[in-house]
Structure 1
Amino acid sequence: MKKAPSQFVKFTKTKSNAAKKEEFKAEKRKYKKEREEYFEKKKAETRKLQGGTDGRSRMGKQAGDKPVPAPVINRPESAGTMPLNKYIAHAGICGRREAADIVKSGVVKVNKEVVTEPGHKVSPQDEVVVNGKKIFLAKNLVYILLNKPKDYITTTDDPQKRKTVLDLIKQATKERVYPVGRLDRNTSGVLLLTNDGELAQKLTHPSNEIKKIYAVTLDKPLDKKDFEQILKGVTLEDGLANVDVLAYADLKDKTQIGVEIHSGRNRIVRRIFESLGYDVKNLDRVTFAGLTKKNVERGKYRFLSEKEVRDLKHFRKGK
């Protein structure tokens, strides 16, 4: 069987069991060290808050890579000020960029005065009202990974009463969470939902180049000419579209394509193939920011482990 080009080996090459085992051990050692440093830092912070004494408090040993028993991570209220759009995002209403649009629309009041500047400074003591409803900073942070099925839209509310991804997780938490980024109605796969506005902003900002991998099924085999054109870049109505990696996921079936991309432009993967005359029959996001839908059935969800949350918050650009 013909081998895939070396730059596509990530989609086709499998590692030996021994190599996988060694990688697992190395990763386990790495995160064990990180956990120890993390809890030592927490202990130091606690001693500092208690005037230099250890308060006789001890933190229990953590469970390594296993999910934390409770899906909520506590965050103390900030004593300082922050931009109004950041405050709204931390209240679990939406992401920071969407919050800026809400502020500009004139539906936000601070201490009974309408404010239209997203950068307006507010503190936890201020009264902030959005669309007539008072909001509060979220103290309990929730992180949910959903394996989104088709026919669900990625929004918190739909005037047309269509099914939304929040319908699938309504039993998961009482906290108000929202999707990080978007998957269109006919796209399935990994979707993160949270009320952590700061993390949501980090994962959706273009400058951070968050990687996503998609499994694409086309209506006909992708020929060599179009394959090479996609690697060079395809000009769409909103500019040049580039992919990071392109590969035949199955060398015997060239309708099955693997695509790695960091662009967050709307429907970018579908539009790349459609511009060359292909119909995308199925589009599934298998990886987002290092998160996969492994062991999560379609339409089901799970809470992120403490390790996964830590990885997301300390990711490096392009990872």
Structure 2
Amino acid sequence: MFLNKFLSQSGISSRRKAVNEIKNGHVSVNGHVIKDPAFRVKESDTVTYKGKKIQQEKHIYILLNKPEGYITAVSDTHGHKHVMDLIDLRGKVRLFPVGRLDKDSTGLLLITNDGDLAQKLAHPKYEISKLYEVVLDQNFDSEFFAKLLQGIKLKDGISKADKIFYTKRSSRKKISIEIHSGKNRVVRRLFKSLGYNVVKLDRVEYATLSKRGLNKGEWRYLTGEEVKKLKARHFEYAEPVV
């Protein structure tokens, strides 16, 4: 295994950041400083980071149905509740949420210690799809469907929906929108640009994952098959240096 991948899978950092740590001389293998991220690590090797021995963590993948009132962070200094408060794991396990949902939004969050996977899921080039169900403050005019599919210019560039439809035929305030953009609060901003306020926003799908069967505030481990599908569908898992 490449040294930078070893650091990433040990929870030290993402694979890209691990490259810098290695090149800066912070990593040693069997007592020797190694500055080559592509150095091959064997099972018998002793790897240290800034003088401390590191070991590969077992990867953990958790699906959380985030309720309102929690920020997407691992800690907070301002007294806010954060999503890690909802996950009770024994022992010291370094976990972090992938992507974000704002405090007032609900729905699916992936939480893991797999830095390599998290980095790829967050990278724009992989265009990871997310499906949201939103409730608006007023009936949504169907003429705007085409505009959202074509793209709307926001302050940080053009964003568009991949799919959009009424969630229920009986209500024109409830909209389902699929989007791959990872821009901050992009769904709320898209509707705001058209004169609508989002009253509720719930993420129901993320990549190959669904929150079906999870009540708000509940979490579960991903199955081996779910992890396999998540990786196989979106990424070619070779061992690039960066």
TM-score (norm 2): 0.81
Rounded Cα–Cα distance in structure 1 between residues aligned with 2:165 and 2:91 = 39
Larger helix proportion, structure 1 or 2? Answer: 1
CA contact (8 A) 1:217 1:256 kept: yes
Q: Please list the CA deviations of residues 16-75 of structure 1 after superposition, one character each: whole Å capped at 9, or x if unmatched.
A: xxxxxxxxxxxxxxxxxxxxxxxxxxxxxxxxxxxxxxxxxxxxxxxxxxxxxxxxxxxx
Q: Which amino acid aligns with 1:181?
A: G
Tell me how large the CA RMSD over aligned residues is.
2.8
- The sequence identity of aligned pairs, in percent, is 42
What residue ranges of structure 1 are gaps of 5+ in the alignment? Answer: 1-77, 112-116
* 1:90 and 2:39 are equivalent in the alignment: no
Q: Which amino acid aligns with 1:128?
A: Y
Q: 1:127 aligns with which of 45, 48, 69?
A: 48
Instruction: For CA contacts below 8 A with separation 6 or more, give which structure has more relative contact order.
Output: 2
Q: Which amino acid aligns with 1:293?
A: K
CA contact (8 A) 1:149 1:298 kept: yes
Larger strand proportion, structure 1 or 2? Answer: 2
> Aligned residue for 2:27?
110
CA contact (8 A) 1:93 1:178 kept: no
* 1:181 and 2:99 are equivalent in the alignment: yes
- Does the residue aligned with 1:254 lie in a helix, a strand or coil? strand
Q: Which amino acid aligns with 1:110?
A: V
Rounded Cα–Cα distance in structure 1 between residues aligned with 2:27 and 2:171 = 58
> Aligned residue for 2:220?
302
- Does the residue aligned with 1:313 lie in a helix, a strand or coil? helix
* 1:284 and 2:165 are equivalent in the alignment: no
CA contact (8 A) 2:6 2:56 kept: no
* 1:162 and 2:80 are equivalent in the alignment: yes
TM-score (norm 1): 0.63
Q: Could you say which structure has the larger radius of gyration?
A: 1
What residue ranges of structure 2 are gaps of 5+ in the alignment? Answer: 29-34, 236-242
* 1:264 and 2:201 are equivalent in the alignment: no
Deviation at 1:139? 3.1
Q: Number of residues paired by the alignment? A: 225
Q: Which amino acid aligns with 2:74?
A: T
Rounded Cα–Cα distance in structure 1 between residues aligned with 2:207 and 2:146 = 26
Q: Which amino acid aligns with 1:281?
A: V
**Structure 1 residues 137 and 315: CA distance shift in structure 2, 3 A:** farther
**Structure 1 residues 311 and 100: CA distance shift in structure 2, 3 A:** same
Rounded Cα–Cα distance in structure 2 between residues aligned with 1:307 and 1:191 = 18
